[in-house]
Structure 1
Amino acid sequence: MIRMLLRVLGHQYAGPVRRTVALMTVTAVAEGASYALLVPVLRALFGDTPGDARPWLVAFGAAVAGYAVLRYAGDLSGFRVGTTLLRGMYHRLGDHLACLPLGWYAAGRVGEVSVLAGRGVLQAMSVIAHLLSPFISAAVTPLTVVAVMLVCDWRLGLAAAAAAPAVAAIHVWAGRSMAAADAERAERDREATARVIEYLQAQPVLRAGGRTIERFRLLDDSLRGLHRASRRSLLSALPGVVGLTLMVQAVFTALLVLGAHLALGGDIGAAELLAVLVLAARCADPLLSLAELGGKLRVVRTELARLDAVLRTEPLPEAPEPVRPVGHGLELESVTFRHGDRTVLDDVSLSVPQGQRLAVVGPSGAGKSTLLQLLARFYDVDAGAVRVGGVDVRSIGTEALMEQVAIVFQDVYLFDGTIEENVRLGRPDAGEAEVRAAAAAARLDEVVERLPGGWSANVGEGGALLSGGERQRVSIARALLKDAPIVLLDEVTSALDPVNEAAVHEGIERLVAGRTVVMVAHRLRTVQRADRIVFLDGGRIVEEGTHEELLRRGGRYADFWQVSLTSVAGGPDTAG
């Protein structure tokens, strides 16, 4: 398990961990060795001159004090290393999650990562601070005591040593019998956590549909499944606990019988017999604790395996010698992209000259948003190439690529902080005047003026305290502040009221001025202002040209346009 722990953490932590394990092992040996002094103490006390026990008692006290110092140092080292490991693990996990491709974050990942980053990391890293010392003590101290018993009397020592393989076998058997139950409990735990998160996030939809009772039943079923799995896990532990207890008691009884036989035959004295029995009794407690510690260590090992699996997930590869693009034109050459068994984009080729606007339209599921994500390298293509400034995005460093691109999506996520903090994410080192100018260009200043607290107003988790239009204005102000030469827009006005739509459109026009733009759009004014339009359907480009050219052809785009006109004439624009 230590090997897996170091693999999860990184080998820069190998030195502190190994030193801590060595110190804990020395402490356990010192504890067992100190009991060896009980033999001369008891021999003197049962002898003709009990006063001779005084120096041995002093030596025993000094040995116990030395053990106490070692134990304090070992526990302190464990806590310090554990704290360092916890901090390092959070940093490593966070950095790795930020590098994983967007496709990794599929449905169910939120609950899994929530459990892993919370309780999972704490449990995995607690092994050094809380579990390693008692486990080493429970394993090493009895072995040291057996060595002491061999010195006292080889027959009793051999009898005690013969029990070691049996205790180890029971421990291994118990671990294997519990493995399946522990795995099921962990899976049920993840499922229940995902259900809880889903239930909380879906409250508006569920209440609007009057479906809260059915959804609660699904959540309740997952919690009952977790309860049953936990009960099975506990029941599967009973045979190991009972077996280990019976073995330890049987060994102690055997030593007692053997010792009494040897004492009655005059082969050992009463002092030696009493010392051996005291040592045997001292071995019982740590051996019995092995069952409980083994269960906790199995939980830790499971969490370490899950962390290891996440950290072994390959991020998008970085070019060994990154190239910085000199232009801002965009190009897709024979791009094919698959998601699972589904081909989302199939042999797509298009180009966007620097400073021009491309509108991408088409039915839902045509691959429009995926096209934008490939341009930003949220995924790598399965075939073909995506180029920025004539350079394949796989040859551009991630940081350099992100400097070139500003993205405004339909679903805006804001961090739980102030409006100003969320705008500054676009460029954290921007001056106050630049932030205010970007806000004014996005008409965010209107929102700031009417909010209590102004720029210091908190937006809530995910921007929950702002309306959709207000969140979109923050997103546009953030993109304006970033001042990137390439802008990607994904249906940024599809769900806005007329007032917010007008404000957001005004901000978008300022954002895209003079920049290379690719926009997924359905709104009439957005599509008309594009230099070129592609109609995407089934992952392929079925039409391409200017607005007027496509209308004259009378194809799919013309049908889409007619539906859009009808929608506008009949009420709110719902096309697409």
Structure 2
Amino acid sequence: MSAQTTTTTTTTTSGGAGRRRPPLLRQYRRLMSQRSWAQLCRGIVLGAVTGSLWGLSLLALLPASVSLATGEPSWGLGLGGWLGVLGGCALTAAVTDFVAQRSGMMGALGFMADVHHAIGDRVATLPLSWFNAESAGTLSRAVSQEMVSLGESAAHFLHKVSSTVASCAVIWLGSWLWDWHLGVLLTCAVPLLVLFLRWSRRLVDRGKTVSEPTERELASRIVEFSRCQGALRSCHVGSGYPQLASAFDDAAAASHRALWWESAGTLLSGALVQAIVVAMITLSAALALGGDLEPLRAVVTIGLCLRFTTMLEDIGNTVNGIEERRQMMNHLSSVMDAQPLPEPQTSSLMGEPGAVELIDVTFGYEEGTTVLREVDLRVPARTMCAVVGPSGAGKTTIARLVARFYDVWSGQVRVGGADVRSLTTKDLMEQLSMVFQDVYLFDDTLAANVRVGDPDADQERLRWAADLAGVTEIVDRLPQGWDTRVGEGGRALSGGERQRVSIARALLKGAPIVLLDEATSALDAENEANVVAAMEELRRTSTLIVIAHKLETVAAADQVVVLGADGRVAQTGRHDDLVTLPGRYRDFWEARSRAQGWTLV
């Protein structure tokens, strides 16, 4: 890949407004396993069989009613024979309907399980540029409320549509055999109703388009409100968070507007169906009065027309129910359509294990805002590089680019001598351990959280890493020791304790390259010695890129890289050399040295 390759990733978590989506069934298929899809299809097919039997039952009522009125056989069977046909159809339909609904329900349950895996697998491949402030609430809603609603649609609505459509098709075909007048009436009714339903569906879809964005925003604000209670209460807005209140107001206003659109769609569908019913009854009565239709056949025709239009109305209501969920499916599809960073099938050869290099790197998180400019940096294997500079200079960005959380706009980032874009994600991650400021611990035991670094590590190696990182001291204090659960995100531990667990993970993994972002920033003086010891151990076996402000950490580095506020490398060299030269580093060192002597009086 060229060193000047520029990768721009534009993604969205919206419902995909303005973009034509594939048919709903195809969108279901892409999210389902083969087994779940087969069960769902079996339910739809058996639903059509059931509907066909229902249609045959209704058609059998026509000759049965003639036989009942005249006492003569009709279509070769008397009243008893037609009653037998009705009983056989009813019994068979009951059996097939049970099997169809059971199969459809199993497929829907499989869909809900498959969605978690499909969305989870996709999200795990997406670049960090895809995620934003709304992602947590959006994804939470996608795999909870939206997943259940779509599962309901798969279990009930699709089955009902297939069975009712099959019934209508059978009745329509049979009506021509019974009386051509009836066939003409039903044939004229179908395209009119399809047209009306299409208009109705568009109105319903417009309503969902209005309400969906505000509902997603509300979900994000609710997640934010629950996660940030500490910060909100410290600012006296724990119970009156204006952003949440505004999101509720916006969602309520949008829901009212959406209700008007959806109500208009429902009223349009219902009113026009009733108009078709009245027209069919009027035509049947006119034919009977004119002598073109026998009185008995006219009564039967009117009855069948009423039932046929009721079934068509059921189809309309069901289609509207499905349409209400289309925006939800489009939202899931937008996640599945989001493009991960391009990745090769096999990795290039890494000729310099442990080495890290940035060559003329320019990068920014948003178009038009550049964070790093023409950065050149080389860190030889098993050395320690400290990166310093003012806030916003791009220090953490360098670590993220090395881990390929993003692709550079121009230039190259090399790990082990190979461009990170020429390595598979698996191979790149095997080269790296990361200890960032925002440490996330899983809602599991303390031991399980440390073992994330190496799930196969034995107890002896686990204790070695814990001793070096200062985790043993945490274990000794906790009532259940290693088996203590740390809570979601590690909320049962302090920030410094979470940092030590993260460092223990890195020790346990033993990767050739370790990225540390303010690794000692949240630690008190008593436990900082443990972290320094851990870093010395990591330094013995790995390459360290450390983003730091503490003087002892910076002075111990083999190389110091100083970034300017403009995102360029201002100075590079050893501490002993840089501190004697006029420039940003000496200013930084002198300012930090003065700050070390500060005391609170």
Calculate the TM-score normalised by the size of structure 1: 0.93
Answer whether contact 1:324 1:400 (CA < 8 A) is retained: no
Q: Structure 1 counterpart of 2:178, which letter?
A: C
Answer whether contact 1:111 1:197 (CA < 8 A) is retained: yes
Partner secondary structure for residue 513 of structure 1: helix
Answer whether contact 1:476 1:511 (CA < 8 A) is retained: no
Q: CA deviation at 1:15?
A: 5.8
Match of 1:358 in 2: 385
Match of 2:8 in 1: none
CA distance in 1, matches of 2:426, 2:118: 18
Q: CA deviation at 1:196?
A: 1.1
Q: CA deviation at 1:24?
A: 2.9
Q: CA deviation at 1:142?
A: 2.7
Calculate the TM-score normalised by the size of structure 2: 0.90
Partner secondary structure for residue 519 of structure 1: strand
Are 2:540 and 1:518 equivalent residues in the alignment?
no
- Using a 3 Å threshold, how does the CA distance of structure 1 residues 237 and 138 change in structure 2: closer, same or farther? farther
Answer whether contact 2:445 2:483 (CA < 8 A) is retained: yes
**Once superposed, what is the RMSD of the aligned Cα atoms?**
2.3
Deviations along 1:242-283, one digit per CA (max 9) or x if unpaired, are: 232233323333333333344445544454334333322322
Q: CA deviation at 1:419?
A: 0.2
- 1:429-508 residue pairs with structure 2 within 5 A? 429-508=456-535
Partner secondary structure for residue 443 of structure 2: coil
Match of 1:542 in 2: 570
Answer whether contact 1:359 1:530 (CA < 8 A) is retained: yes
Equivalences, count: 571
Q: Structure 1 counterpart of 2:186, which letter?
A: A
* Pick aligned residue for 2:317 from 285, 292, 298: 292
Query: How many percent identity over aligned positions?
Result: 37
Q: Structure 1 counterpart of 2:256, which letter?
A: R
Q: Structure 1 counterpart of 2:218, which letter?
A: A
- 1:123-138 residue pairs with structure 2 within 5 A? 123-138=149-164
Answer whether contact 1:472 1:504 (CA < 8 A) is retained: no
Partner secondary structure for residue 342 of structure 1: coil
Match of 2:11 in 1: none
Answer whether contact 1:491 1:521 (CA < 8 A) is retained: yes
Match of 1:155 in 2: 181
Match of 2:218 in 1: 192
Answer whether contact 2:538 2:544 (CA < 8 A) is retained: no
Match of 2:437 in 1: 410
- 1:314-325 residue pairs with structure 2 within 5 A? 314-325=339-350
Gaps of 5+ in 2: 1-22
- Using a 3 Å threshold, how does the CA distance of structure 1 residues 196 and 525 change in structure 2: closer, same or farther? same
CA distance in 1, matches of 2:577, 2:496: 33
Q: CA deviation at 1:530?
A: 0.2
CA distance in 2, matches of 1:389, 1:250: 75
Q: Structure 2 counterpart of 1:108, which letter?
A: E
* Pick aligned residue for 1:563 from 591, 594, 597: 591
Structure number having the greater helix percentage: 1
* Pick aligned residue for 2:227 from 201, 221, 235: 201
Q: CA deviation at 1:46?
A: 0.9
Q: Structure 2 counterpart of 1:29, which letter?
A: S
Gaps of 5+ in 1: none
CA distance in 2, matches of 1:336, 1:182: 42
Deviations along 1:209-236, one digit per CA (max 9) or x if unpaired, are: 2234652x33122112212222222222
Q: Structure 2 counterpart of 1:5, which letter?
A: Q
Match of 1:30 in 2: 53
Higher mean displacement: 259-268 or 56-65: 259-268
Q: Structure 2 counterpart of 1:436, which letter?
A: R
Q: Structure 2 counterpart of 1:82, which letter?
A: A
Q: CA deviation at 1:120?
A: 2.3
Partner secondary structure for residue 406 of structure 1: strand
Answer whether contact 1:8 1:304 (CA < 8 A) is retained: no
* Pick aligned residue for 1:171 from 176, 194, 197: 197
Are 2:265 and 1:240 equivalent residues in the alignment?
yes
CA distance in 1, matches of 2:275, 2:294: 23
CA distance in 2, matches of 1:237, 1:161: 28
Match of 1:552 in 2: 580
Higher mean displacement: 319-328 or 528-537: 319-328
CA distance in 1, matches of 2:71, 2:329: 59
Q: Structure 1 counterpart of 2:206, which letter?
A: A
CA distance in 2, matches of 1:104, 1:247: 45
Partner secondary structure for residue 380 of structure 1: coil
Match of 1:5 in 2: 27
Higher mean displacement: 17-26 or 470-479: 17-26
